[in-house]
């Protein structure tokens, strides 16, 4: 078994939990917690926690946040040795406020540092990329970096469109990816589709495959995920959850699950099912990555 490479966002998530009503334009009392986060890094963490071999390439500042990101990631088994450390820079951060019901009231992200992952930097990493079983690109990477990697790296490329705006921005090069994962809203935006029924999902999947992709995964929340590739086309139901703690991280963990099980050589049906089980365990945890995630539990839930 070889390794996969994730390239994209790593940031420190600083989350404030209000202990009473949140009053705007005011300093509210609460508790503040710090986690290592970032969509690409979180997905890589799930992949590593389930036993996969993964190298992460991201831009990190030479500050205490950067040290935390590297330490936390290495502790779960991610190879961080190919990251770009930017001297004198502050690591990327994401700050969020949760109200008493633990719903996100407001959030803000500073992703300036990710722009340092230039084509020149990636050129030096091509040997690492080309030796991988698959390369996952974050949709927030600079456009010219996405262009460069998709033109120069001949291993299967995977991408999560991650947001409607990024999905639209990378639409012109979407056909260069082997596997594209998007949620329903992103798929609708990318294809111009307005309906959400099964026939519409089929049309959206066909349109994305027509761009040149080999596989498309459209996640539809509690409905499940629609998957289309050379093997099969159809809806895969989600595994029901009694109590959702936080839906954050569901997409990233599903992505990691499908990728890992596919790399282990299982069918796409089994891989999507495996991904569903990882997502299920993720949303039962209040954190974007369930710290108790393990292969045994995923297998027991999936099959």
**Which residues here bind another protein, judged by CB under 8 A?**
14, 16, 18, 22, 24-32, 64-65, 67-68, 90, 93-97, 103-112
CB of 254 to another protein, least distance (A): 19
CB of 294 to another protein, least distance (A): 28
Instruction: Please name the helix (run of DSSP H) or strand (run of DSSP E) that holds residue 217, with its range, or none.
Output: strand 215-219
Q: Which is nearer to another protein, 97 or 149 (CB)?
A: 97
CB of 135 to another protein, least distance (A): 26
CB of 214 to another protein, least distance (A): 31
Give the chain's end-to-end CA distance (angstroms, integer).
Answer: 22
Q: Which is nearer to another protein, 141 or 293 (CB)?
A: 141
Q: Which residues pair with 61 in a beta bridge?
A: 86
CA angle at residue 202 from 200 to 203, to 5 degrees? Answer: 65
Beta-carbon contacts of 247 under 8 Å, excluding residues fewer than 6 positions away, are 221, 283
CB of 60 to another protein, least distance (A): 14
Among 73, 56, 46, 50, smallest CA distance to 1 is for 50
CB of 104 to another protein, least distance (A): 6
Distance CA 55, CA 65 (A): 19
**Phi, psi for residue 169 in degrees, rounded to 5:** -65, -40
Q: Which is nearer to another protein, 25 or 243 (CB)?
A: 25
Return the SS3 of 154: coil
Q: Which is nearer to another protein, 61 or 156 (CB)?
A: 61
Q: Which is nearer to another protein, 93 or 187 (CB)?
A: 93
Beta-carbon contacts of 283 under 8 Å, excluding residues fewer than 6 positions away, are 241, 244, 245, 246, 247, 249, 250
Q: Which is nearer to another protein, 151 or 165 (CB)?
A: 165
CB of 199 to another protein, least distance (A): 31
CB of 24 to another protein, least distance (A): 6
Q: Which is nearer to another protein, 25 or 242 (CB)?
A: 25
DSSP secondary structure letters along 157-207: EEEE--SHHHHHHHGGGGGG-SEEEEEHHHHHHHHT----SHHHHHHHHHH
Handedness of CA 244, 245, 248, 252 (dihedral sign): negative
Residue carrying structure tokens 């995630």: 293
Among 208, 288, 209, smallest CA distance to 247 is for 288
Q: Which is nearer to another protein, 71 or 81 (CB)?
A: 71
């Amino acid at each position: 078994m070889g390794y996969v490479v994730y390239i994209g966002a790593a940031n420190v998530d600083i989350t404030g939990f209000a202990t009473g009503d949140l009053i705007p334009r005011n300093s509210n009392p609460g508790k503040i917690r710090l986690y290592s986060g970032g969509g690409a890094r979180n997905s890589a963490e799930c992949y590593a926690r389930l036993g996969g071999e993964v190298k992460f390439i991201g831009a990190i500042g030479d500050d205490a946040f950067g040290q935390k990101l590297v330490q936390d990631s290495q502790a779960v088994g991610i190879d961080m040795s190919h990251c770009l450390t930017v001297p004198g820079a502050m690591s990327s951060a994401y700050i969020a406020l949760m109200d008493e019901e633990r719903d996100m009231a407001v959030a803000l992200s500073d992703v300036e540092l990710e722009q340092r992952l230039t084509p020149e930097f990636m050129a030096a990493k091509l040997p690492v990329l080309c030796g991988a079983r698959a390369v996952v690109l974050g949709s927030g990477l600079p456009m010219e970096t996405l262009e460069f990697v998709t033109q120069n790296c001949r291993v299967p490329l995977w991408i999560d469109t991650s947001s409607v705006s990024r999905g639209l921005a990378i639409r012109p090069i979407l056909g260069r990816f082997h596997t594209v994962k998007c949620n329903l809203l992103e798929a609708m935006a990318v294809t111009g589709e307005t309906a959400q029924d099964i026939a519409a999902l089929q049309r959206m999947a066909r349109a994305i495959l027509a761009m040149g992709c080999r596989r498309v995964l459209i996640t539809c929340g509690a409905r499940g995920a629609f998957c289309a590739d050379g093997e099969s086309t159809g809806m895969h139901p989600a595994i029901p959850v009694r109590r959702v703690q936080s839906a954050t991280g569901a997409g990233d963990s599903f992505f990691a699950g499908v990728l890992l099980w596919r790399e282990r050589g299982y069918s796409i049906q089994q891989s999507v099912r495996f991904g569903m089980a990882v997502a299920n365990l993720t949303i039962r945890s209040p954190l974007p990555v369930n710290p108790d995630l393990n292969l045994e539990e995923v297998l027991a839930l999936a099959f």
